[in-house]
Structure 1
Amino acid sequence: MTEIRDINDSPAQSQFILYWGDMGSQWGVNRSVAQIQALLYLSAAPLNAEQISERLGIARSNVSNSLKELVGWKLIRRVPIPGDRREHFEAECDVWEIATRVAQGRKEREIDPAMRVLSDCVAAAELEADPDPIALARMKEMQEFLNVVDTWYDQMLAVPKSKLKTLMKMGNKVISLLSITGKKSE
């Protein structure tokens, strides 16, 4: 387990960074990547790789690879510091933007490939001389579900952040609204 070296970190910050790393690993994200993102998220100033390595007790090579991954996810960015040739990094700090970028990355890495494979499977099953009707129906049901998720995701990206916040805060009041408008839940 990473041991956070106490350099200006409060116990609460250290706990947050450790928890974020643990949570990230449960979601399939490398623990170091998640901890670096958490450290930069909490940091008031941009940090360079050496500072990150020292603060988190992570090997410099691991920090470099993790920073590349976080830049790829657009969760952190390079920030020039006048008079310092080293690369410094800061995190995206808008939690809604973070959530959007993570959702987009996961969709591209998980949902989109699943949709392509499922489409190929359905097409191949439909060409079989005697397809298993139950298996074909279930694959089509999964395909329909993923298409709905994909469409919903695209629609949610178009919703202004303020409206999306309001919608999410409404919670199950949305269901009540649908009942009032005559829409029946399934």
Structure 2
Amino acid sequence: MKLSPLAERFVLHFGEMGSRWGVNRTVGQIYALLYIAGRPLNADELVETLEFSRSNVGIGIKELLAWRLVKLVHLPGDRRDYYETPKDVWEIFRVLIEERRRREIEPTLSLLREALMEEANDEEDRIAQERMRQMYELIELTTGWLDDVQRLSPETVIGLMRLGAKVQKVLEFADRLKLTGGQRDPDKR
């Protein structure tokens, strides 16, 4: 498979970005190619197109499978393994959030919970625990919010994202309603 200049730029860029996101360049490029291919690809096609060794492609595929960012598929009449990414970009986003949470956030929350349960031995430990408590509360609040957002439909999330800072006006209006007992402020028309 020969990549167009546009596709090649995308694949190369994803390799560079992959290294910034915590995966190696090879994994990023494999993912990018599978994402834009429009059809499932087998390992031989990945090796040929990306000019990677078979072992590097195999290791990259295993990592992408572990992240649940690609899935194994079989084509009728072909005994080879093929791989594809989820077709829905929102599904990809959801899987990424879940995997990051499982791999990074949950272990951090566990460590913070354990640290907060220990007895502070001195003022230095009390200060450290207070800072850890603040971090724990922020992460808990953020993950709770992400859980709520993940239950929304993609259309609702898009609408919410498009609101951006306008949400602040809605919250301010709700606060004014609370202060006036649900009655509209006659001076605000």
Could you say whether these structures have the same fold, taking a TM-score greater than 0.5 normalized by the shorter chain as the test? yes
2:31 — aligned with what? Answer: 37
SS of the residue aligned with 2:74?
strand
2:120 — aligned with what? Answer: 128
C-alpha separation in 2, matches of 1:33 and 1:22: 10
1:3 — aligned with what? Answer: none
C-alpha separation in 1, matches of 2:78 and 2:11: 27
CA displacement at 1:182 relative to structure 2? 1.6
Deviations 1:72-120 (A, max 9, x none): 2221111111221110111112111111111111111110000000111
State whether structure 2 residue 115 is matched by structure 1 residue 85: no
1:70 — aligned with what? Answer: 64
1:50 — aligned with what? Answer: 44
2:158 — aligned with what? Answer: 165
SS of the residue aligned with 2:2?
coil
C-alpha separation in 1, matches of 2:104 and 2:134: 18
CA displacement at 1:8 relative to structure 2? 3.1
State whether structure 2 residue 144 is matched by structure 1 residue 151: yes
CA displacement at 1:174 relative to structure 2? 1.1
Pick aligned residue for 1:179 from 168, 172, 182: 172
Query: Looking at both structures, which has the greater relative contact order when contacts are Cα pairs under 8 Å and sequence separation is at least 6?
Result: 1
For the pair shown, the structure with the greater C-alpha radius of gyration is 2
CA displacement at 1:130 relative to structure 2? 3.2
Give the gaps of 5 or more residues in structure 1.
1-6
CA displacement at 1:128 relative to structure 2? 3.2
| Aligned amino acid, residue 140 of structure 2 | N
Deviations 1:135-157 (A, max 9, x none): 22111111111111121121112
Structure 1 pair 42–129 and aligned structure 2 pair: CA distance change class (3 A): closer
Residues 1-20 of structure 1 mapped to structure 2, 5 A cutoff: 7-20=1-14
C-alpha separation in 2, matches of 1:77 and 1:84: 17
C-alpha separation in 2, matches of 1:146 and 1:108: 13
| Aligned amino acid, residue 170 of structure 2 | L
Q: Is the Cα–Cα contact under 8 Å of residues 2 and 49 in structure 2 kept in the other structure?
A: no
C-alpha separation in 2, matches of 1:129 and 1:71: 45
Give the gaps of 5 or more residues in structure 2.
177-189
SS of the residue aligned with 1:9?
coil
Q: Is the Cα–Cα contact under 8 Å of residues 120 and 129 in structure 2 kept in the other structure?
A: no
C-alpha separation in 2, matches of 1:93 and 1:18: 21
C-alpha separation in 2, matches of 1:136 and 1:69: 36
- How many residue pairs match? The answer is 175
* Farther off after superposition, 63-72 or 112-121: 63-72
| Aligned amino acid, residue 82 of structure 1 | P
